[in-house]
């Protein structure tokens, strides 16, 4: 009997991944279907639908779902969901596809058919509708008006660029997923299906599990957040994004090595589990914090660690906007449809020389001149420019791994920092 939080949506884990003879038969059928080429973002979403990570979703959203999610955080059936999960297709690929047709979803980069889908709706999102989506999903307190937002969003916000560059037609419908791509092999032992992470937590006898979201290398602040979580929960799930990032972000293989080193040297290993998931970052700040909590609930986590500028990019969001948004979302009354994974809200953390240890704005009375302000973006910027890191910025073992990575790069990418990361 599991004591873990129930999967989101009230239907258990909705797994759409086929295996064995059933998969073989569907693959054979897929070979004769019209192919639609999918983006990297769609591929990640598709795998998450397949393994139950996006429970209760069993396919891509209708226009009613899209509108409800953007406007009210609710799908058409009243289930809480914070960001649209859409399948876009070029007009020429969508030509001739009718409601009721089955299609094959093709990953050109991996050269494989990832899934089949039964089309229940085909609709066009105009540029005006995409603009509306961006303002609803990506606009935060850092850009208080739409005019402020659009001055910089088209050039500087990768999530906005992703939406505005979507192909003309959106296709909705349930899927049968045939592949998890490269993830089970490339990240063997780290990549988990929700059923696998839940089994690990159950075996440990955990009921309260906190998730730490990572897309940057794990520095002292991340370590401190995890240790706070371990003190108040049964254990912590360090859950790294192993899908696509933006230029300048550090690849998953390097980040996994950093986590391994930290856990081995600075944690009671029995209280920590490391995992990876296959999504692309959307950089949606507060909305993405909600998404992280939603699918972590499916992985068995009842708490989501939310610190400073969670899932942010540039200066688009307020420092703690990803915390306060949890207090503003709807709570559907129907069983299972509300978000059950709650935020573990932690203030800005740093090393303080006068405190002689890690601290936060809630615990440290000293000035910023005494603090080593920790930021994954700053860490990447300093290392990419060959600079020295301040004492206590990162553990020595981690810094060695990261320096080796940067020394092996042949191309450098300019890394922009959030003004708050600079101590402004």
Mean pLDDT by 10 residues, the chain (424 residues): 96 98 98 96 97 98 98 98 98 95 97 98 97 98 95 95 96 98 94 98 98 86 94 97 76 88 94 95 94 98 94 92 97 96 95 95 95 73 74 85 81 51 42
CA distances from 130 to 54, 89, 93, 144, 346 (A): 23, 15, 20, 19, 33
What's the rounded Cα separation, in Å, for the pair 375 and 221?
Answer: 8
Domains of the chain (ranges; CATH) run 20-125+166-179 (3.10.400.10), 189-422 (3.40.50.620)
pLDDT on residue 423: 43
pTM as predicted: 0.93
pLDDT on residue 404: 86
What's the rounded Cα separation, in Å, for the pair 294 and 298?
Answer: 7
What is the tally of helices (H) and strands (E) in the chain?
15, 15
Neighbours of 24 (CB within 10 A): 12
Give me the half-sphere count of Cα atoms (radius 13 Å) on the Cβ side of residue 123. 17
Give me Rg for the CA atoms of the chain.
21
151 SS3 class: helix
What's the rounded Cα separation, in Å, for the pair 304 and 300?
Answer: 11
pLDDT, one tens digit per residue, over 29-45 is 999 999 999 999 999 99
The structure tokens listed for 183 are 């993830």
Using CB atoms within 10 Å of the CB of residue 196, give its burial: 0 to 12 exposed, 13 to 18 middle, 19+ buried.
Answer: middle
Q: Which residues are catalytic?
A: 215-216
Phi, psi of 146 (to 5 degrees): -60, -35
The structure tokens listed for 108 are 């050109």
pLDDT, one tens digit per residue, over 95-109 is 999 999 999 999 999
53 SS3 class: coil
Left if phi > 0, otherwise alpha if psi is -120 to 50, otherwise beta: which for 5?
beta
What's the rounded Cα separation, in Å, for the pair 266 and 272?
Answer: 11
Q: How many residues does the chain have?
A: 424
pLDDT on residue 393: 76
Neighbours of 165 (CB within 10 A): 10
Task: Confirm if 12 and 55 have CB atoms less than 8 A apart.
Answer: yes
What's the rounded Cα separation, in Å, for the pair 345 and 359?
Answer: 15
């Amino acid at each position: 009997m599991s004591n873990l939080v129930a999967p989101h949506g009230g239907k258990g884990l909705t797994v759409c991944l086929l295996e064995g003879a059933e998969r073989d038969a569907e693959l054979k059928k897929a070979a004769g279907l019209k192919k639609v080429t999918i983006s990297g973002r769609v591929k990640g979403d598709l795998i998450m639908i397949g393994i139950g990570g996006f429970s209760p979703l069993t396919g891509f959203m209708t226009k009613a779902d899209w509108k409800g999610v953007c406007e009210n955080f609710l799908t058409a059936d009243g289930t809480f969901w914070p960001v649209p999960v859409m399948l876009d297709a070029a007009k020429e690929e969508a030509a001739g596809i009718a409601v009721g047709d089955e299609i094959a979803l093709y990953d050109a980069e991996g050269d494989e058919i990832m899934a089949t889908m039964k089309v229940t709706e085909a609709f066009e999102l105009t540029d005006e509708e995409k603009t509306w989506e961006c303002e609803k999903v990506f606009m935060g307190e850092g850009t208080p008006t739409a005019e402020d937002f659009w001055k910089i969003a088209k050039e500087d916000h990768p999530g906005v660029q992703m939406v505005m560059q979507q192909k003309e037609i959106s296709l909705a419908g349930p899927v049968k997923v045939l592949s998890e791509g490269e993830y089970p092999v490339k990240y063997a032992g780290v990549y988990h299906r929700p059923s696998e992470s839940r089994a690990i937590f159950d075996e440990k006898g955990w009921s309260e599990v906190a998730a730490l979201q990572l897309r940057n290398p794990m520095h002292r602040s991340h370590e401190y957040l995890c240790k706070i979580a371990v003190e108040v929960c049964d254990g912590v799930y360090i859950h790294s994004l192993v899908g696509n990032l933006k230029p300048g972000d550090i690849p998953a293989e390097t980040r996994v090595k950093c986590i391994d080193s930290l856990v081995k040297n600075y944690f009671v290993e029995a209280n920590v589990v490391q995992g990876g998931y296959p999504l692309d970052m959307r950089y949606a700040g507060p909305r993405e914090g909600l998404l992280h909590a939603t699918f972590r609930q499916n992985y068995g986590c009842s708490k989501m660690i939310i610190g400073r500028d969670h899932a942010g990019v540039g200066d688009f969001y307020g420092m703690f906007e990803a915390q306060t948004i949890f207090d503003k979302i709807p709570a559907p009354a129907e069983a299972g449809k509300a978000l059950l994974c709650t935020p573990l809200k932690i203030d800005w953390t740093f090393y303080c020389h006068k405190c002689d240890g890690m601290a936060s704005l809630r615990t440290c009375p000293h000035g910023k001149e005494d603090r080593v302000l920790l930021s994954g973006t700053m860490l990447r910027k300093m290392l990419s420019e060959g600079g020295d890191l301040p004492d206590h910025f990162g553990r020595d073992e981690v810094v060695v791994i990261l320096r080796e990575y940067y020394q092996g790069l042949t191309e450098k990418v300019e890394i922009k920092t959030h003004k708050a990361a600079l101590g402004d």
